Amino acid sequence: MSQPLWEVFVRSRRGLSHTHVGSLRAPDAHMALRHARDVYTRRQEGVSIWVVPAAEVVASSPDEKDAFFDPAGDKPYRHPTFYTVPDEVQHL
């Protein structure tokens, strides 16, 4: 029985982002959401679920890894480490 694959994202609590937790198979979006509830939130892992058709996810290719990511490797100045943060600044 071949059913579409769905990617599952769960928000663990208010204020946090939805995080990818895994995938599952389901005939449609309605059932995918319910299966996600049953398979991935059995231990109170979440307060919100997204399911996304895996076929709709556009992913970068491993072949392009070098061109995509290596150029950022020698640019440490992009990290916010070249200035001092005043002590008074909170919640940065």
Partner 1 sequence: MTAVQTDTDTAVYALRLGDDALVLAQRLCEWAARAPQLEEDVALLNLALDLLGQARSLLTRAGELAGPDPNGTVRTEDDLAYLRDEPEFCNALLMEVQSGDFGRTMARQLLVSAWQVPLWTALAASADEGIAGVAGKAVKEAAYHLDHARSWVLRLGDGTAESHRRLQQGLDDVWPYAAELFERDALLDRLVERGVAADPALLEPQWRATVQAVLAEATLTVPETTWRPTGGRRGQHLTGFGYLLAELQHLHRSHPGATW
Residues forming contacts to partner 1 in the complex (CB under 8 A) are: 1, 3, 24-28, 30-31, 34-35, 38-39, 42
Contacts 24+ apart (CB under 8 A), 33-41: 36/6, 36/8, 36/10, 39/8, 40/8, 40/10, 41/10
- Which CB atom, from 28 or from 66, has the smaller least distance to partner 1? 28
- Read off the amino acid at residue 50: W
Least distance (Å) between residue 24 CB and partner 1: 5
- Which CB atom, from 16 or from 55, has the smaller least distance to partner 1? 55
CB-based contact 9:52 (threshold 8 Å): yes
Least distance (Å) between residue 39 CB and partner 1: 5
Least distance (Å) between residue 8 CB and partner 1: 10
